[in-house]
């Protein structure tokens, strides 16, 4: 909100009624902007000023929130909220009553502080951020971790009030408890936060001997953070009320913990599914077998059909990442046929006989020798 809202008539600048719909205002702005654009009026030095006026009017009236605030400002001024009235040009005749703009817009239920003043009162503390490294299993299954912080915290002696225990704050002598002071500027009086109490309206009569009245102290503290099950790498966990201390009795901020999940030597992750690679021998793949597959909480028995190709993935339902709502993810077990680095003479002979009987061409042309996922 700007000071010149009190004096400028944006509706008049665009030539529209105060209740004009937005489409009408847009149309008026486009016509006037094109008409008064400096490029279209190179010999008219006043065109640029008119162009700025219609652009300013459009920037306010095209925004619903700004327009509502502007309308309220004009209503209060034009309806006689001050004595003597105002001239069409926006000037105020001598003898008019001085207005405290903060009284009009800064009171309970008002439109807020018009020009940046107003009472501040209790202020929320800042949010703090840190990083945390988690193992794969901690991230998937959830955990509770303790974070060591060293920085500003609420004073342990006065509990953040700044006053020595057993004493009370007193009304600020500068602002009389209002939290703000007024400065006269012509026919208006603009309020700003009180420099002594910083807008709180009260001051500490007997400062705390530990924090010297600041309400904060620098010290080490431990914060317990709960890691929800299934948290992913790069996620941010918010620990509410564990951040920086508030001022003048305000609440503490939050602690934002960015998570880095370490890789696991055995398991991987695909969304809510856990992946694992399981080695099997050539004979097991060709003849079929049953194998033990590791999971996050033990083992499961998996049947591998005869003729299973390497890279085939089997799905074990419900053995993946747990979730607070809904069913957990699945375990995706991918079999990999291992090739022994050395073969005995007898094994080589048997493998050569097999290759002579079936041939590599038959294997490559087999449509079933492709990887896939069993549901």
Predicted local confidence at residue 1, as pLDDT: 44
**Domain boundaries in the chain?**
3-97, 128-261, 267-374
For the segment(s) 267-374, the CATH number from 3.40.630.40, 2.60.260.20, 3.40.50.720, 2.40.30.130 is 2.60.260.20
Buried b (16+ CB within 10 A) or exposed e, 153-178: bbbeebebbbbbeeeebeebeebebb
* CATH code for the part of the protein at 128-261: 2.10.230.10
Task: Give the fold, CATH level 3, of 3-97.
Answer: Helix Hairpins (1.10.287)
Residue 4: per-residue pLDDT: 63
**Which residue in this structure is represented by tokens 């074990």?**
316
Q: How far is CA 331 from CA 253, 259, 328, 356, in A?
A: 39, 23, 10, 38
Q: By the 8 A CB rule, do 41 and 49 touch?
A: no
Residue 211 has φ and ψ, to the nearest 5°, of -105, -5
Place of tokens 């564990």: 242
Encode the chain (375 residues) as per-residue pLDDT tens digits.
Answer: 455 676 788 899 899 998 899 889 989 988 898 888 877 787 787 888 888 888 888 888 888 888 888 888 777 766 655 333 333 333 443 334 444 444 444 443 344 444 444 445 567 888 999 999 999 999 998 889 999 988 888 888 888 778 889 888 888 888 877 777 776 655 455 667 788 787 777 888 888 888 888 888 888 889 999 998 999 999 999 999 898 888 766 788 899 999 999 999 999 999 899 999 999 988 899 889 999 999 988 999 999 999 999 999 999 999 999 887 778 899 999 999 988 888 888 888 888 887 787 655 454 445 454 445 665
């Amino acid at each position: 909100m700007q000071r010149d809202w009190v004096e400028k008539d944006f509706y008049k600048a665009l030539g529209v009624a105060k209740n004009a719909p937005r489409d009408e205002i847009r149309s008026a702005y486009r016509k006037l902007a094109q008409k008064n654009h400096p490029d279209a009026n190179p010999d008219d030095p006043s065109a640029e000023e008119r162009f700025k006026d219609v652009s300013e009017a459009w920037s306010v009236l095209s925004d619903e929130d700004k327009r509502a605030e502007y309308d309220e400002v004009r209503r209060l001024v034009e309806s006689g909220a001050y004595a003597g009235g105002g001239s069409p040009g926006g000037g105020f005749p001598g003898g008019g009553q001085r207005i405290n703009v903060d009284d009009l817009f800064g009171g309970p239920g008002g439109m807020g502080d018009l020009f940046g003043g107003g009472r501040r009162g209790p202020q929320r503390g800042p949010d703090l951020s840190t990083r945390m490294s988690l193992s794969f299993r901690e991230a998937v299954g959830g955990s509770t971790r303790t974070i060591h912080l060293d920085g500003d915290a609420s004073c342990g002696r006065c509990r953040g009030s700044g006053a020595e225990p057993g004493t009370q704050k007193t009304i600020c002598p500068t602002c009389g408890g209002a939290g703000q002071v007024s400065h006269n500027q012509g026919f208006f009086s603009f309020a700003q936060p009180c420099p002594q109490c910083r807008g709180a309206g009260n001051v500490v009569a007997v400062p705390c001997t530990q924090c010297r009245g600041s309400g904060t102290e620098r010290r080490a503290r431990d914060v317990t953070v709960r890691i929800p099950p299934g948290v992913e790498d790069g996620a941010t966990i918010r620990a509410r009320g564990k951040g920086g201390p508030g001022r003048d009795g305000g609440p503490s901020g939050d602690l934002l913990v960015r998570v880095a999940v370490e890789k696991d030597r055995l398991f991987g992750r695909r969304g809510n599914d856990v992946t694992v690679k399981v080695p099997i021998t050539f004979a097991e793949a060709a003849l079929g077998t049953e194998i033990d597959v590791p999971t996050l909480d033990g083992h499961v028995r998996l049947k591998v059909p005869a003729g299973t190709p390497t890279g085939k993935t089997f799905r074990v339902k419900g053995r993946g990442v747990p979730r607070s709502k809904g069913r957990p993810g699945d375990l995706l077990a991918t079999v990999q046929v291992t090739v022994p680095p050395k073969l005995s003479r007898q094994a080589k002979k048997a493998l050569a006989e097999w290759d002579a009987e079936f041939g590599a061409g038959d294997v490559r042309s087999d449509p079933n020798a492709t990887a896939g996922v069993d549901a």
